[in-house]
A and B are shown apart, each in its own frame.
Chain A
């Protein structure tokens, strides 16, 4: 049960984090500030995603250590576990940053962001949850293939976001 709890916590934290991240930018005139002009939209998107990912990773480390102590979860398969955490978090941050930008300054964005995020994140959450079932399950069940899947997912949405950020900034 603890991997499910872990990733549900991370997802809720991500919803809050990306909503805040998008709200900062939707304030009038923010993108016209002189410092912002120098940034290309793709770099702006990747920077925002990186910031969200850093927040989430910090939370995950604390959460994982707490869980290891409280529930006496063995920290076995550490390398693969870390790889899962990094790739899954990259995917969550990319999707979240992009979708929160789509929903920013709309009516009812507080409910829109989770509605948009949860379906897209479902594959990541299922993959990541499977991943933390323990080292033996991983060795038998193509653990690396799932890390690769999470990596492909993260890369796809990072690329989409980087490409889409310019039209998004121009048209809103």
Chain B
């Protein structure tokens, strides 16, 4: 995490009273503070989760991947809910803000869910003896991963921003319909994945420091999700500006060309100019 200090990102915010120079990146004072919290919290989490907490009563040392596994899956679920909210709000309000929020939430959520699958595989290997099994919970998590992978792929294959936003919003809502299915799947199909840690009952034998570490992990996970979400939102916003700026430039160039062409005809230029003015009747 040390290489990605957000502090470098922002030296020329509006705070220093120079509106002429915009921000040079996606960082801001808010993300700087959030980033420092994430770094400190992450360091504390590592020390607690890998060293200071005692082995679990039942799981022993195998408890330790859980301290990163549970936060990533919780943040992923939250981000996918946020994606659904952004999708619905785009369809209702047609504000680019909600579309970009949905896009950012899906991509960041995909990173979190991918890590959930990976850490889950390692945990499975040291606990059940296998990296992967077609267990209900595992399968449905993979299904959700693929669903949001499809969402990102769809966004990548549509050029027009408005078409992209509307189609992606519908897909986002369709994928959100899968979330309750995934959550219920443990009850519906036979599963040997343990019950939901976050919303289930807490293990009473869990020590105070273990519980604290688990909740610290959740807090750090949410803060990190927020930090990544803000940066990804701003990247998406900038991309949109570049896309539309490119379009404006193209139109301006076309207009200039047409103007030059009509100037040319008035002086009595060759056939090329008349072809151009035919193309552009305005």
- Among A5-13, A72-80, A118-126, the stretch that binds chain B is A118-126
Tell me whether A119 and B177 are in contact (CB under 8 A): no
Tell me whether B177 and A99 are in contact (CB under 8 A): no
Query: Do A168 and B144 form a contact, CB below 8 Å, given A116-B150, A149-B188?
Result: no
With an 8 A cutoff between CB atoms, is B63 at the interface?
Answer: no
Tell me whether A102 and B170 are in contact (CB under 8 A): yes
With an 8 A cutoff between CB atoms, is A171 at the interface?
Answer: yes
Contact residues of A: prevailing secondary structure: helix
Q: Determine the residue in chain B with the shortest Cβ distance to A106.
A: B157
Interface residues on A, range: 20 to 34
With an 8 A cutoff between CB atoms, is A28 at the interface?
Answer: no
- Among B20-28, B43-51, B159-167, B205-213, the stretch that binds chain A is B159-167
Query: Do A168 and B158 form a contact, CB below 8 Å, given A118-B146, A120-B174, A123-B143?
Result: no
Once the chains are docked, how many angstroms separate the CA of A171 from the CA of B166?
7
Tell me whether B143 and A122 are in contact (CB under 8 A): yes
Give every chain A residue within 8 A of B121 (Cβ-Cβ).
none
Tell me whether B166 and A172 are in contact (CB under 8 A): yes
Give every chain A residue within 8 A of B169 (Cβ-Cβ).
167
Q: Determine the residue in chain A with the shortest Cβ distance to B158.
A: A106
With an 8 A cutoff between CB atoms, is A86 at the interface?
Answer: no
With an 8 A cutoff between CB atoms, is A63 at the interface?
Answer: no
- Among A33-41, A47-55, A132-140, A156-164, the stretch that binds chain B is A156-164
Tell me whether A119 and B157 are in contact (CB under 8 A): no
Q: Determine the residue in chain B with the shortest Cβ distance to A152.
A: B181
With an 8 A cutoff between CB atoms, is B9 at the interface?
Answer: no
Tell me whether A168 and B167 are in contact (CB under 8 A): yes
Once the chains are docked, how many angstroms separate the CA of A116 from the CA of B150?
5
Once the chains are docked, how many angstroms separate the CA of A9 from the CA of B171?
24
Tell me whether A102 and B177 are in contact (CB under 8 A): no
- Rounded to whole Å, the gap between the CB of B101 and the closest CB of chain A is 18
- Rounded to whole Å, the gap between the CB of A103 and the closest CB of chain B is 7
Query: Do A107 and B157 form a contact, CB below 8 Å, given A123-B178, A160-B177, A168-B166?
Result: yes
- The one of A109, A112, A123, A167 that contacts B91, using a Cβ cutoff of 8 Å: A167
- Please give the residue numbers on chain B whose beta carbons come within 8 Å of chain A beta carbons, in ascending order: 91, 139-140, 143-144, 146-147, 149-150, 153-154, 157-158, 160, 162-163, 165-167, 169-171, 173-175, 177-178, 181, 185, 188-189
A-B contact pairs, 15 of them (CB 8 A): A98-B170, A102-B170, A103-B157, A106-B157, A112-B153, A115-B153, A119-B147, A120-B174, A122-B143, A156-B177, A157-B177, A160-B173, A167-B91, A167-B166, A171-B163
Contacts A103-B157, A115-B150 known; 13 new A-B pairs at CB < 8 A: A95-B174, A98-B170, A98-B174, A102-B154, A102-B170, A106-B157, A112-B153, A119-B178, A120-B178, A160-B174, A168-B167, A170-B166, A171-B162
- Please give the residue numbers on chain A whose beta carbons come within 8 Å of chain B beta carbons, in ascending order: 95, 98-99, 102-103, 106-109, 112, 115-116, 118-120, 122-123, 126, 149, 153, 156-157, 160, 164, 167-168, 170-172
